[in-house]
């Protein structure tokens, strides 16, 4: 039996717990998710190093999963655009059962291996694409079908599962096992297995974006300010990076179409916005190199 399906020995009387003990049991079990991710940090480093040159060469991130795992993939993919101005067409997600399964379970969708394969083929994957395949069990047919299609074209495949020795981990170019063990509510992998998956996906995509020069120091300098909160964040980031006044930061951002990187170059290199942008383009968006 898979570890994630094995009833937990820790809390066999969970339904009898008073609320305080019940909450403590759930929270304490979730804390183990971070430990599971930390335990495979070496594999995560290997994945980031493999992902970076392919994506830098124009590859896409494609997340594939079913149920909770698939929904977590969608979440990570859609947040890359506002956070890093990453093109939405270069961060895509496939969910067994289609996008409608984001909100309502589609019975049996995860069991269709051929559909996983055909859904991925419809995206016309290529060598530079990175396919992130997520399945707590490590055996989900839909995800394995997508894996097979990705391997056919030589795309980089990263398998993420919560059970060791499973087909997804063995078949992917890089297999990362988040060994979270039994769930406090037996088999409910939306709990710490899902939490560990989210931590890992956040880590992979964020580390990738840092390596692609989307971050300066620890500042989110490539954000896409699509609302009032993000506009104010852009102003404060520009102020923090340059020491400029709020008025000067706003003026530089307005000249730079509210692109923080460009505004920083405008202020620190004393250039007009078009020349600042040209300098960034010449350095592949590397703000440190542009400023040097």
Active-site residue set = 79, 110
Q: What Cα–Cα distance (Å) separates residue 64 from each residue in 9, 135, 190, 236?
A: 32, 9, 16, 36
Using an 8 Å Cβ cutoff, are 69 and 4 in contact? Answer: no
Using an 8 Å Cβ cutoff, are 63 and 77 in contact? Answer: yes
Using an 8 Å Cβ cutoff, are 249 and 239 in contact? Answer: yes
Nearest alpha-carbon partner for 77 in 65, 92, 64, 66: 92
Q: What Cα–Cα distance (Å) separates residue 174 from each residue in 2, 51, 123, 169, 197?
A: 21, 10, 21, 7, 15
Sign of CA dihedral 87, 83, 200, 33: negative
């Amino acid at each position: 039996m898979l570890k994630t399906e094995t009833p937990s020995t820790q809390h066999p009387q969970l339904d009898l717990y008073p609320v305080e003990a019940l909450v403590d049991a759930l929270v304490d079990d979730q804390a183990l998710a971070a430990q599971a991710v930390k335990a495979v940090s070496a594999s995560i480093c290997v994945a980031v190093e493999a992902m970076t040159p392919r994506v830098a060469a124009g590859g896409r991130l494609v997340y594939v999963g079913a149920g909770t795992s698939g929904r977590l993939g969608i979440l990570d993919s859609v947040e890359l655009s506002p956070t890093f101005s990453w093109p939405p067409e270069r961060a895509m997600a496939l969910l067994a059962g289609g996008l409608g399964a984001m909100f309502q379970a589609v019975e049996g969708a995860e069991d269709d291996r051929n559909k996983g394969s055909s859904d991925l083929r419809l995206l016309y994957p290529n060598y530079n694409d990175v396919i992130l395949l997520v399945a707590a069990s490590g055996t989900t047919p839909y995800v394995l079908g997508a894996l097979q299609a990705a391997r056919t074209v030589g795309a980089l495949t990263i398998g993420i599962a919560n059970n060791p020795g499973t087909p997804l981990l063995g078949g992917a170019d890089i297999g990362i096992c988040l060994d979270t063990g039994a769930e406090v509510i037996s088999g409910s992998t939306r709990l710490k297995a899902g939490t560990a998956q989210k931590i890992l996906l956040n880590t992979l995509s964020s580390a990738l974006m840092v390596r692609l020069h989307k971050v300066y120091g620890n500042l989110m300098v490539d954000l896409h300010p699509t609302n009032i909160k993000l506009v104010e964040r852009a102003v404060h980031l520009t102020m923090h990076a340059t020491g400029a006044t709020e008025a000067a930061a706003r003026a530089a951002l307005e000249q730079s179409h509210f692109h923080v990187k460009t505004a920083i170059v405008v202020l620190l290199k004393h250039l007009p916005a078009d020349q600042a942008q040209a300098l960034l383009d010449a350095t592949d968006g590397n703000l440190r190199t542009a400023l040097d």
